Amino acid sequence: MVNFLRPVSRTGTLSDGVFNTLLLEILSGRWPANEAAPSERDLAAELNVTRHVVREALKRLQQAGLVRISQGGKTMVLDWRTHAGLDMGFALIDAGVVPLADIFRDTAVLRRTVGVDAVRLCALKANDDQLAAVTAAAAAYPHTGTLQEFEDAELRLWTAIMIGSGNVAYQLALNTLMRSIEEVGAVMVQGLNAEALTNRGGQVELATAITNRDADTAVALAYVLLSELVDVFGPGD
């Protein structure tokens, strides 16, 4: 089961290299779900690393929901479809399991779904300080600048909206999404929704509807803004 593995390159962090190698085996299906993973001893020999390095990589895979480690027993491979989180999305691209366009579109749809509801909740539930933060973020939105400056401004505005929604899970989802984008390479998605990013009027209008507690208008505006990235990869839903 392990003879297709190659020694891990010594460039970069050795622990990360082992983790990424084993992650690819799981996501690609070369390690079938619901079967035992190779032993630490076998993996260490195949990858030319110590068992400690393998053990640390397996612990990270367990934290990611991809294996279950039993003390003194076998390490079982789990099905990523029922155990992995959003942060595994872009790793599926590297494994050749899901096309890049599908991951980006599905992530954009999730972003829109969560964002629209967060806007609704923020308009209905945010306290005065939270609404003031939304207003301040919108007021600071640049009229002109680099694409990175617009992206930073949008993130500040949406972070304020997520906090104002009172939904911690939405904030965590935003954090996970941003971390995943950084891992896959922000340059790959930069500018895909440039029209919405540079639309200061639309962003300010959204913030105004929220602070006026006009949830219906805010939801409609958010849907339009967040649909641009969805539509890049196909017709909007």
Q: pLDDT tier at 3 (50, 70, 90 boundaries)?
A: very low
Residue 43 contacts residue 2 (beta carbons within 8 Å): yes
Q: Where are the domains of the chain?
A: 14-84, 88-233
pLDDT of 177 over the 90 cut: no
> Rounded to two decimals, what is the model's pTM?
0.73
Question: Strand, coil or helix: what is 105?
Answer: helix
Q: How confident is the model at residue 1 (pLDDT cuts 50, 70, 90)?
A: very low
Q: Write the pLDDT tens digit of every residue in 127-153.
A: 999 999 999 999 999 999 998 899 899
162 contacts 171 by C-beta, under 8 angstroms: yes
pLDDT at 206: 98
User: What residues have CB less than 8 Å from 32, skipping those under 6 apart?
Assistant: 77
Measured CA to CA, the distance from residue 72 to residue 66 in angstroms comes to 19
- Look at residue 165 in the predicted model and tell me its pLDDT: 97
Q: What is the pLDDT of residues 21-80, one digit of tens each?
A: 999 999 888 999 999 999 999 999 999 999 999 999 999 999 989 999 987 779 999 998
Q: Are 130 and 167 in contact (CB under 8 A)?
A: no
Contacts of residue 77, Cβ cutoff 8 Å, sequence gap at least 6: 26, 31, 32, 33, 34, 35, 36, 37, 66, 67
In a 3-state reduction of DSSP, which class is residue 36? strand
User: CATH classification of 88-233, choosing from 1.10.1060.10, 1.10.3720.10, 1.20.120.530, 1.20.1730.10?
Assistant: 1.20.120.530
Is 236 within 8 Å of 227 (Cβ atoms)? yes
Confidence of residue 4 (pLDDT cuts 50, 70, 90): low
User: What is the CATH architecture assignment of 14-84?
Assistant: Orthogonal Bundle (1.10)
Instruction: Give me the DSSP letters along 177-221.
Output: HHHHHHHH-GGGTTTTTHHHHT-HHHHHHHHHHHHTT-HHHHHHH
| Alpha carbon distances (Å) from 147 to 183, 190, 199, 206 | 19, 8, 12, 20
